[in-house]
Structure 1
Amino acid sequence: MKLILTADVPNLGAPGDIVEVKDGYGRNYLLPRKMAIVAHRGAEKQVASIQRAQKARAIRDLGHAKEVADELSKLTVTVKAKSAGDSGRLFGSVTTADVVKAVQAAGGPALDRRAVDVPSQIKTVGTHQVTVRVHPEVTAELSVEVSST
């Protein structure tokens, strides 16, 4: 199945790329999540518009990406979880959207929640390390402090 990616998909491609994937992966994962559209004859215009939009949102170059990564690595953000038990275990988990909101509240750059990688679910109070993909070649480690309210 030939698809045009509309979002960054790890190990597959960037927005605007035309990829060939197995039918089930495309039909059951990429298309329902709006990460891709079916490639057809008039797709060149769609590819061009997707790539233009991505360039407008993307970080300008590798040097700018490294500056943003340095800024993120120096930043420690605090996420206030709704409630936690006596042992410090949360009733729920901290999501990537919560991390993005906390970064913006701390004065950091605007991030896409899909660029934030949480290695394992954050379900306890304390300090956790989160990886942020700033650029395809640059990643940053972010320290997230989780506290209960």
Structure 2
Amino acid sequence: MKVILKETIDTLGIVGSECNVAPGYARNYLFPQGKAIEATPQNRKIIEQARLKFELQIAKEKKLAQEMAEKVKNIECTIKAKVFEEVRLYGSVTTHDIKAALDAQNVTIERRSILLAEPIKLAGEYKVPVRLYKDVEPEITVKVVPEEKTA
């Protein structure tokens, strides 16, 4: 089913774009939430008239994302984990752990915006990209350090 987005949705596209989605997804989520409308000729005309407003909104969102990227790229978060053999972790560090460490520093980033290719399984320092907007992906530094052993 073709729909026209009224909001930017990371997995689908930006405001005003036309995309194909499953009919159930449109009917049960996008339409009731007001995130999209059906792509009919009449709705296309309405969206075309509102395109200037959408372009302004996109420009504002991108500018905001770039400003946030400047702040985020200097962020360093340290995660303590249990290790054996000095570097290998008992478990792994995932996006949940990184989000928790960022929340502790009062940095609000959605968990799904943290682009960790695979869980971290070794202690060390890693550069992890964070998607703030379509083309805005600054990297944060994640340090995984061994937890202090208590005797």
Q: What band does the TM-score fall into relative to the shorter chain?
A: 0.5 to 0.7
In the alignment, residue 64 of structure 1 is paired with which amino acid? Answer: L
> Is residue 82 of structure 2 the alignment partner of residue 79 of structure 1?
no
Please identify the structure whose Cα radius of gyration is greater. Answer: 2
Whether the 8 Å contact between 2:62 and 2:133 is mirrored in structure 1 is yes
Q: Which has the higher strand share?
A: 1
Counterpart-to-counterpart distance in 1, 2:130 and 2:98:
10
- The alignment's TM-score, normalised by the length of structure 1, stands at 0.64
Gaps of 5+ in 1: 32-36, 50-59
Question: Helix, strand or coil: the match of 1:117?
Answer: coil
> 1:65-104 to 2 correspondence within 5 Å?
65-81=65-81, 83-104=82-103
Number of corresponding residues:
123
Question: Helix, strand or coil: the match of 2:84?
Answer: coil
In the alignment, residue 74 of structure 2 is paired with which amino acid? Answer: K
- The alignment's TM-score, normalised by the length of structure 2, stands at 0.63
Query: How much identity, in percent, do the aligned residues show?
Result: 32
Question: Helix, strand or coil: the match of 1:128?
Answer: strand
Following superposition, the deviation at residue 3 of structure 1 comes to 8.0
Q: Deviations over 1:95-149 (max 9, x none)?
A: 11111111122243x1110000013321111101100001112111111001122
Following superposition, the deviation at residue 18 of structure 1 comes to 6.4
Gaps of 5+ in 2: 38-59
